[in-house]
Chains A and B, each alone.
Chain A
């Protein structure tokens, strides 16, 4: 039996969030947080709003916070007798466990989330080796679940910093040998220099994108510094980092 406390909030009707507490039996071995959400809704009729489509770490929509830690509901096996499920921290709540993703989506729209070929596509099959694609392929495994952004201390205090998820997406194209876009400038426009490289994102990432995210950000930071790329507010690289160091 697991004692589960689930966050409830309907901002349209309620002033304050509350929790609903339910005892959930051990349904089977390796029961996940998603199993619990399905049980309380489909069996008990509690009607908690949550996002989830696939249940197998592909859709990237079931991110929640379990006992304060960002995780995917579908990949988190419940081993404790008591857990608390909250919406992902750092985002506005639309309802219950459903978060507002628009800050991510709006930034995503501006970073050219597609391949911008440096030379025209020649013919099928193009000349490319798995070695050349390795780094990009790792970043392509990012499922945009936003756990990293939720865990990021810089994102929390710096509204101009896009958060790691946006950089993972920039990385998937920026590290693709076929891409010719100025990903460094795009990274600078999202305040890449505010990354502290604290690796909080790496720790929570459920995919292979964690393998390259810090290296990619490090690379764009160095390129920003070398090219003296100035972001839209006039900060040079590392200025903000120094400012933030005072807070952390």
Chain B
């Protein structure tokens, strides 16, 4: 099609539709198709190439457990390290994900993943010196790429139909159930409808790209969370955004490069963090925090944030490594070499928004509050790791298959389809002379979030942030348009849809952050610096009458912390 959208006859029928081709989406499609059901995967990026999974440096799970108690101990160790906020996730989910690691590692090896060995062939350990053993796929820093290549190969081996470079624009509902999705194949400029008995949302977490500096990839604009919210699903823990303080400061487009301030293989620091004068902030940190991981610990981040602010003023140095040994242990380091940094040069570090812990509220079957809709990976509430993606990928596939086997092909609500088609096509318009492209509006949103919703938050900033986001919606959106209205690979068209999602997610995130009157884990407020046990609660967000409705529920009955 050239201009405008295809007819409503463009409906694809399937048993299960999977949205997203990261670790969670790919794995759930593989698992769902072994059930003999028809599976269709729709991916916003080129297949398996977008999203956070490919960026993951580690697998984050042990290879073998000797007792159930060891699983519980590992849950405690893992999540204490990643931050107090994780205890708001249902303990059953945390335990199930960690317990799944053993199976995932074995299965990935069977598919062809090479878990790195030492010279004599024993598995290399990236975790604590004592068992359980934490293997790393291929090498530190490249687990995600390796795992994603293998999962991508499996999708092809199993002949699972995939549509790449197609962005899902809405979740379709009828009589309170999810009955499929609408999507824009932006490669061809075609709007299409997928009618499904079950839908697995695996579109990635909502954080990251909302901020000017982030580790999230360009395609991660919170679409899944926004669509689920619009479709009436319950969201939770959305205020818990995690941060990095040790990412490449410039070139800015390489900000997603993480300098791991953790020990490598339990033996050696990956990078040393220093000030321009060469002084390590470690002593300052160790006065109040005991950790060997300066990369992930939120209390380390608070100390650095208070001392160094947004731009950090900190540097990474690798002079304690022999260059060859460094590249062998941490092959991604060659990016630094390629960008022209000399071994002796101080590498400027910056702050960036990392993963978001919140998302769709799921139970341990990965069911959401909307019948027929399942969530896997970062889009669901849980720990933001590849391990969580694999566990929830498998679990959502099992639950979706169960439903799909019993269900008949659902009816579509055609008025809803038409309304969505109108919304999507309304963005395919030229920008007025004094207008803005969607890329510019996105940039504006990201600057507002960076300015007012940074790691250290307070009531005044957040109120101003909320108003600015509302102003973007009111004043910039009507002036937003494209440079061209042809359909094929009009990425501006996709970005218009991104803007719509980002505005919804930002608003929800700000409101939830303002509601939480305490600090907890990665969530830090300067006006409420202490953790308040009365706030051991989850904030639930739903949509009622077109606006966000926030409520709280106690987390104690299903507490993560035992």
Whether the Cβ atoms of A115 and B49 lie closer than 8 Å is: no
* Complex CA–CA separation, A77 to B340 (angstroms): 8
Whether the Cβ atoms of A128 and B114 lie closer than 8 Å is: yes
Q: Which residue of A lies closest to B485 (CB)?
A: A13
Whether the Cβ atoms of A49 and B491 lie closer than 8 Å is: yes
* Complex CA–CA separation, A125 to B144 (angstroms): 20
List the B side residues contacting A38 at CB < 8 Å: 252-253
Whether the Cβ atoms of A47 and B439 lie closer than 8 Å is: yes
Whether the Cβ atoms of B154 and A41 lie closer than 8 Å is: no
List the A side residues contacting B251 at CB < 8 Å: 28, 30-32, 34-35, 77
A82 part of interface (Cβ distance < 8 Å):
no
List the B side residues contacting A114 at CB < 8 Å: 111-112, 150, 153-154, 156-157
Known: A52-B218, A53-B50, A114-B112. A45 touches B440 (CB 8 A): yes
Partner of A140, one of B50, B146, B338, B482: B146
A12 part of interface (Cβ distance < 8 Å):
yes
Whether the Cβ atoms of B119 and A129 lie closer than 8 Å is: yes
Whether the Cβ atoms of A129 and B156 lie closer than 8 Å is: no
List the A side residues contacting B234 at CB < 8 Å: none
Partner of B112, one of A52, A74, A141, A176: A176
C-beta contact mask, A46-63 vs B, less than 8 Å → 1, else 0? 110111111111111100
Interface residues of A, dominant DSSP: loop
A127 part of interface (Cβ distance < 8 Å):
yes
A137 part of interface (Cβ distance < 8 Å):
yes
Output the least CB separation between A7 and chain B (Å).
14
Q: Report the stretch among A93-101, A152-160, A191-199 that lies at the interface.
A: A93-101
Whether the Cβ atoms of B121 and A127 lie closer than 8 Å is: yes
A136 part of interface (Cβ distance < 8 Å):
yes
Interface residues of B in 420-478 (CB under 8 A from A): 431, 436-437, 439-440, 442-443
Q: Which residue of A lies closest to B444 (CB)?
A: A42
Known: A13-B486, A47-B439, A114-B111. A54 touches B117 (CB 8 A): no
B123 part of interface (Cβ distance < 8 Å):
yes
Partner of B437, one of A32, A41, A108: A41
B109 part of interface (Cβ distance < 8 Å):
yes
Known: A126-B109, A129-B121. A54 touches B54 (CB 8 A): yes
List the A side residues contacting B218 at CB < 8 Å: 52-53, 55
Whether the Cβ atoms of A12 and B156 lie closer than 8 Å is: no
Output the least CB separation between B539 and chain A (Å).
31
Whether the Cβ atoms of B54 and A94 lie closer than 8 Å is: no
* Complex CA–CA separation, A42 to B499 (angstroms): 13
Whether the Cβ atoms of A115 and B112 lie closer than 8 Å is: yes
Known: A30-B339, A58-B54. A129 touches B46 (CB 8 A): no
Whether the Cβ atoms of B256 and A56 lie closer than 8 Å is: yes
Known: A28-B250, A29-B250. A128 touches B121 (CB 8 A): yes
Whether the Cβ atoms of B339 and A77 lie closer than 8 Å is: yes
Interface residues of B in 20-58 (CB under 8 A from A): 45-46, 49-51, 54-55
Q: How many residues of B contact A (CB 8 A)?
A: 75
Known: A101-B46, A124-B109, A208-B331. A49 touches B489 (CB 8 A): yes
* Complex CA–CA separation, A43 to B490 (angstroms): 18
Whether the Cβ atoms of B253 and A32 lie closer than 8 Å is: yes
Whether the Cβ atoms of B331 and A141 lie closer than 8 Å is: yes
Whether the Cβ atoms of A12 and B2 lie closer than 8 Å is: yes
C-beta contact mask, A96-114 vs B, less than 8 Å → 1, else 0? 0010010000001100111
* Complex CA–CA separation, A24 to B225 (angstroms): 36
Interface residues of B in 237-260 (CB under 8 A from A): 248, 250-257
Partner of B443, one of A31, A43, A59, A95: A43
Whether the Cβ atoms of A12 and B335 lie closer than 8 Å is: no
Interface residues of A in 6-40 (CB under 8 A from B): 10-13, 27-32, 34-35, 38
Output the least CB separation between A211 and chain B (Å).
12
A229 part of interface (Cβ distance < 8 Å):
no
A130 part of interface (Cβ distance < 8 Å):
yes
Whether the Cβ atoms of B63 and A12 lie closer than 8 Å is: no
Output the least CB separation between A42 and chain B (Å).
4
List the B side residues contacting A230 at CB < 8 Å: none
Output the least CB separation between A169 and chain B (Å).
9
Output the least CB separation between A181 and chain B (Å).
11
Q: Which residue of B lies closest to A112 (CB)?
A: B157
Whether the Cβ atoms of B489 and A95 lie closer than 8 Å is: yes
Whether the Cβ atoms of A137 and B114 lie closer than 8 Å is: yes
Which of B154, B157, B491 has its CB near the most chain A CB atoms (within 10 A)? B491
Output the least CB separation between B442 and chain A (Å).
7
List the B side residues contacting A77 at CB < 8 Å: 251, 339-340
B115 part of interface (Cβ distance < 8 Å):
yes
Q: Which residue of B lies closest to A13 (CB)?
A: B486
* Complex CA–CA separation, A121 to B251 (angstroms): 44
Whether the Cβ atoms of A45 and B437 lie closer than 8 Å is: yes
B267 part of interface (Cβ distance < 8 Å):
no
Whether the Cβ atoms of B121 and A34 lie closer than 8 Å is: no
* Complex CA–CA separation, A145 to B142 (angstroms): 17
Whether the Cβ atoms of A47 and B484 lie closer than 8 Å is: yes
Known: A12-B2, A30-B339. A121 touches B439 (CB 8 A): no
B487 part of interface (Cβ distance < 8 Å):
yes
Whether the Cβ atoms of B340 and A57 lie closer than 8 Å is: no
Interface residues of B in 488-513 (CB under 8 A from A): 488-492
Output the least CB separation between B70 and chain A (Å).
17
Which of A41, A46, A108 has its CB near the most chain B CB atoms (within 10 A)? A41
Partner of B63, one of A28, A32, A55, A125: A125
A217 part of interface (Cβ distance < 8 Å):
no
List the A side residues contacting B112 at CB < 8 Å: 114-115, 173, 176, 178
List the B side residues contacting A129 at CB < 8 Å: 117, 119-121
List the A side residues contacting B120 at CB < 8 Å: 129
* Complex CA–CA separation, A112 to B118 (angstroms): 29
A214 part of interface (Cβ distance < 8 Å):
no
* Complex CA–CA separation, A183 to B255 (angstroms): 39
B555 part of interface (Cβ distance < 8 Å):
no
Whether the Cβ atoms of B149 and A140 lie closer than 8 Å is: yes
List the B side residues contacting A225 at CB < 8 Å: none
A171 part of interface (Cβ distance < 8 Å):
no
Whether the Cβ atoms of B153 and A140 lie closer than 8 Å is: no
A206 part of interface (Cβ distance < 8 Å):
yes
Whether the Cβ atoms of A140 and B138 lie closer than 8 Å is: yes
Whether the Cβ atoms of A51 and B46 lie closer than 8 Å is: yes
Given contacts A13-B484, A115-B112, 8 further A-B contacts (CB under 8 A): A12-B486, A47-B439, A57-B335, A61-B49, A108-B156, A121-B109, A137-B138, A140-B114
9 contacts between A and B (CB under 8 A): A28-B252, A29-B250, A32-B251, A41-B437, A45-B431, A45-B439, A47-B483, A53-B219, A56-B55
The 3 residue pairs across chains A and B that have the minimum distance between CB atoms: A115-B112, A114-B153, A45-B437
Footprint of A on B, CB under 8 Å? 2, 45-46, 49-51, 54-55, 63, 105-106, 109-112, 114-121, 123, 138-139, 142, 144-146, 149-150, 152-154, 156-157, 187, 217-219, 248, 250-257, 331-332, 334-335, 338-341, 431, 436-437, 439-440, 442-443, 482-484, 486-492
